[in-house]
């Protein structure tokens, strides 16, 4: 049976709506009283796994799911061995460098050499500053990274930004954008080549639906 890995959090509702549009119904995950982590489509065509966004490409890479929906930010951070099939055009946000609004820095290049940058996206942060040939110390944080500059632990942060409201409310401003991120459709490479569980049929439908909304 086809298995789809779905991300908990901000992308879940739109992911379920997209799959419903091609005939796969996993809306039971939206039941507030449900604690299910695996459900089957009522038609018996496919099942879905509900996992942390960062784990979606892991389940797909190792073949426990043939399809997955995940943010481009996760793909950039983890560089998993998966097939990238479509930009699904929802979940828009951006990976940004931010500092306190009282800071003198207004671009990444203005940050001091060997300064400190807090981020949960350690690989993306390293990549950005390596490309600038600017040596910095990346401090891994997995909670509210905004506290880094607020407490003085770091000069800057690298984090996902959607509306910018959280930054503004905490006295931070964006000074650079690393890349834009949206939800992406990914697949297990071998399953995609072999058309396991008629995978190509579902991929083609999802790609066509995405293109029709452009």
Q: What is the pTM of this model?
A: 0.93
Q: Which of 18, 187, 166 is nearest to 90 (CA)?
A: 18
Stretch (H or E) spanning 13 = helix 12-21
pLDDT tens-digit series, residues 167-204: 999 999 999 999 999 999 999 999 999 999 999 999 99
Helix axes 12-21, 199-212, angle to 10 degrees: 110
Burial 68-107 (b: 16+ CB within 10 A, else e): bbbbbbbbbbbebebbebbebebbebbbbbbbbeebebee
User: Strands 83-87 and 183-187: what pairing?
Assistant: antiparallel
Which residues neighbour 115 within 8 Å (Cβ) at sequence distance 6 or greater? 136, 137, 154, 155, 156
pLDDT tens-digit series, residues 43-54: 999 999 999 999
Percent of the chain predicted with pLDDT > 70 = 99
The CA distance from 2 to 130, in Å, is 40
Other beta carbons less than 10 A from residue 201's beta carbon: 12
Residues in the chain: 214
Residue 126, pLDDT > 80, answer yes
Stretch (H or E) spanning 192 = helix 189-194
**How confident is residue 85, by pLDDT bands cut at 50, 70 and 90?**
very high
Residue 214, pLDDT > 80, answer no
């Amino acid at each position: 049976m086809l298995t789809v890995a779905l991300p908990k959090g901000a992308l879940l509702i739109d992911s379920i709506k997209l799959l419903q549009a091609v005939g796969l119904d996993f809306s039971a995950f939206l039941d507030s009283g449900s604690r299910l982590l695996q459900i089957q489509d009522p038609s018996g065509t496919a099942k879905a796994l509900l996992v942390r966004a960062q784990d979606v490409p892991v389940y797909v890479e190792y073949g426990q799911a043939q399809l997955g929906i995940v943010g481009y930010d996760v793909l950039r951070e983890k560089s998993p061995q998966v097939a990238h099939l479509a930009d699904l055009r929802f979940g828009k946000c951006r990976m940004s460098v931010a500092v306190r609004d009282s800071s003198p820095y207004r671009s990444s290049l203005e940050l001091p050499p060997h300064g400190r940058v807090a981020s949960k996206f350690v690989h993306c942060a390293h990549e950005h500053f390596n490309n600038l040939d600017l040596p910095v110390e990346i401090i891994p944080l997995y909670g509210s990274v905004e506290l880094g500059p607020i407490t003085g632990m770091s000069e800057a942060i690298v984090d996902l930004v959607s509306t910018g409201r959280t930054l503004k409310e905490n006295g931070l401003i964006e000074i650079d954008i690393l890349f834009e991120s949206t939800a992406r459709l990914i697949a297990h490479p071998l399953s995609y080549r072999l058309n396991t569980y008629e995978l190509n049929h579902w991929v083609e439908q999802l790609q066509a639906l995405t293109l029709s909304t452009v």
